[in-house]
Homo-oligomer: A and B are copies of this chain.
């Protein structure tokens, strides 16, 4: 008799974005004339840049000619793309990487979800609260978290509350943890850490031989000086950190699918005898066994993000969304809301008025302003009483949404 992976049964029934979709669909059914503006899911709205489109079309044509056709590529990605990533994303930060420390994939969601496979199931993990649900759910599926309690938290996860009182900065864990998920600029709060604040985490990990799983998917949105773009800007991070990056939000690749993960050769995990193993080798083995590389035209498109024209065009995309962020921030503040984020990140995290529950605010915003956002409680217990809006809408919709929030709420 085929047995189920019983860890799957520990997952809470409804995934955040499915529940949002359900409520929106119901509302649309009841109010067919309502003109709904979606600032909920973090999906981009601006088209791929011309340099990217051109490069991808050329690569597709290459695939149609015998002499330039490409079959299986390297599972870990083409060097032409890896070299451009190192040159453009890391050299300017004075971070040295070798070609075999960069792994190209189809998405940061896949990588952040799959990476935990390399770790034993008895590791203790820490996550920020609120948190991107994929970190938690992928660990639940693997059996690393135990069961869920009545507040929606898993027994073997250390939750690090990020709330107004601590400026949305996760406190170091009180008990020892082995795997630490950090995301900065943060989804959902939109907040960042300074180099000094991030260094505390690197020091903690070095001291405890923990591994930091650092999600930098939003680094391109950093506007202020002094905010680290990569954890590898911090001394010692090469020994204890892995970094996830993506073209999704940087270059509008949410529907095109390309990301990359940095696994320095020094990062180690240990067996029960204390013998060390390189995570880089383990991830290579995982990817060569369970993955067959990213589509060649997609990798060619990603490489064009680093061309002279590509860089200019992509910068414009980021600027466009960050102007949206500024409009939302200013609008909400002038309407009396307390807001976080939106300065170095495309997310605005607002405190609901009068301690309203997140889902109540969701319903109110949808019903009164016909604007859809994301309830903070969906990201964890400490997200209760907060609400996320994204800057990824069109300019027109962003402005209209802000006007409605000011006038109708």
Q: For A2, what are the chain B residues with a Cβ–Cβ distance below 8 Å? A: 119, 123, 178-179, 209-211, 268-270
Please give the distance in Å from A284's CB to the nearest CB on chain B.
10
Inter-chain contact A71/B45, CB cutoff 8 Å: yes
Q: For A98, what are the chain B residues with a Cβ–Cβ distance below 8 Å? A: none
Q: Which residues in chain A, 214-273, are within 8 Å of chain B measured between CB atoms?
A: 252, 254-257, 268-272
Inter-chain contact A3/B270, CB cutoff 8 Å: yes
Q: For A6, what are the chain B residues with a Cβ–Cβ distance below 8 Å? A: 120, 271-272
A152 at the interface (CB under 8 A from B): no
- What residue of chain B has the Cβ atom nearest to residue A44's Cβ? B71
- What are the interface flags for A354-374 relative to B under an 8 Å C-beta threshold, 1 for contact and 0 otherwise? 000000000000000000000
Stretch of A109-117, A166-174, A195-203, A328-336 at the chain-chain interface: A109-117
Q: For A119, what are the chain B residues with a Cβ–Cβ distance below 8 Å? A: 2-5
Inter-chain contact A64/B47, CB cutoff 8 Å: yes
A106 at the interface (CB under 8 A from B): yes
A36 at the interface (CB under 8 A from B): no
Inter-chain contact B53/A72, CB cutoff 8 Å: no
Please give the distance in Å from A211's CB to the nearest CB on chain B.
4
Q: For A121, what are the chain B residues with a Cβ–Cβ distance below 8 Å? A: 5
Inter-chain contact B291/A256, CB cutoff 8 Å: no
A34 at the interface (CB under 8 A from B): no
Inter-chain contact A256/B295, CB cutoff 8 Å: yes
Inter-chain contact B72/A271, CB cutoff 8 Å: no
Q: Which residues in chain A, 13-53, are within 8 Å of chain B measured between CB atoms?
A: 15, 41, 43-50, 52-53
A69 at the interface (CB under 8 A from B): yes
Residue of A3, A118, A211 contacting most chain B CB atoms (<10 Å) = A3
Stretch of A54-62, A183-191, A381-389 at the chain-chain interface: A54-62
- What residue of chain B has the Cβ atom nearest to residue A70's Cβ? B255
Identify A69's interface contact among B47, B123, B208, CB under 8 A: B47
A290 at the interface (CB under 8 A from B): yes
A338 at the interface (CB under 8 A from B): no
Q: For A141, what are the chain B residues with a Cβ–Cβ distance below 8 Å? A: 117, 286, 289-290
Identify A3's interface contact among B4, B122, B257, CB under 8 A: B122
Q: Would you mind naming 20 contact pairs between A and B with Cβ atoms under 8 Å apart?
A: A1-B210, A2-B123, A3-B269, A4-B270, A4-B277, A5-B118, A5-B121, A8-B118, A8-B286, A45-B69, A47-B66, A53-B63, A57-B61, A106-B291, A106-B295, A134-B289, A134-B290, A141-B289, A141-B290, A256-B296
A-B residue pairs, 6 tightest by C-beta:
A3-B120, A53-B64, A113-B290, A43-B71, A47-B69, A4-B269
* 7 extra interface residue pairs, beta carbon distance < 8 Å, beyond A47-B69, A48-B60, A57-B60: A4-B120, A4-B270, A45-B69, A48-B64, A49-B64, A114-B290, A117-B141
